[in-house]
Amino acid sequence: MRDLFLGRNIVGDITNHTYQATVLRTGGGNAPEDHILEPIGAKMADVLGYRNEPSVGYPTTGTTDDWAYAAVGALGYTFENGAIGFHPAYDREIGTFWKQHMEAYEIMLGVSANPAYHSVIKGRIGNGPAKLTITKAFKTPLSPGNPVNKEAVSEKIKMTMRTDPDGAFEWHVGPSSRPYEKRAESYTLSIETGGRSKTIQVQVERGETLNLGTIKL
């Protein structure tokens, strides 16, 4: 999952667990953007008939949605499915309300597709079609007493795309600054075309569409 998130433009995620009949959200109610996360969770909880809760009720480490939010800014949720046990019969749980689950997933799909909830970088390479690469290296702190006995793990975002034939591009990405970081962070945007290359620093926030205009190499 870590490699998947670091190499692709994933701006939202849902993990599925059993069982509490709740929709949980990343950060346990303490995320810097809980004002964004809470109402989205409420919409999904409503169609599922679940509770909309910030936390499962006890601390956890290494969860996908918490890591993804902290590392790449993806808006994350956990569905604690059902209310009758960890391994219920299919026809007593999912088989009885799969349509509601699909509706909840479509709510999250709409959120992920909405530029108001992620970031957009657009522009045009004046020299024609080009290969674009976004990178950002950072360290994620680890909990005390972790199995590898390290303070942090090194991570690197690396994503690529190609422009349109005329050099135009519109890249939907997560915000360049991680939510829990107090200082602004930038992406490194590398451009390659016709044997030439150029690198620029790009800072873009959630909900922002940054137009770089025409870039000539």
Q: What integer pLDDT is reported at residue 152 of this predicted model?
A: 93
pLDDT of 142 reads 87
On whether the CB atoms of residues 175 and 203 are closer than 8 A, the answer is no
The burial class, CB within 10 Å (0-12 / 13-18 / 19+), for 58 is exposed
Q: How far is CA 192 from CA 32, 83, 123, 128, 159, in A?
A: 36, 53, 15, 10, 14
Which pLDDT score, from 0 to 100, does residue 65 have?
Answer: 93
Query: What DSSP element (H or E) covers 81?
Result: strand 75-81
What was the pLDDT predicted at 157? 98
Q: How far is the first Cα of the chain from the last one, in angstroms, to the nearest whole number?
A: 36
pLDDT for 85: 84
Please tell me the predicted confidence (pLDDT) of residue 82. 84
The tens digit of pLDDT for each residue in 90-140 reads 777 767 788 899 999 999 999 999 999 999 999 999 988 999 999 999 999
Give the predicted TM-score (pTM) of the model: 0.92
Domains and CATH numbers, the chain: 2-114 (3.40.630.10), 119-215 (2.60.40.10)
pLDDT value, residue 146: 85
pLDDT recorded at residue 83 = 82
CA angle in degrees (0–180, nearest 5) for 168-115-126 = 15
DSSP 29-42: G-STTHHHHHHHHH
Please list the ranges in the chain whose pLDDT falls under 70. 94
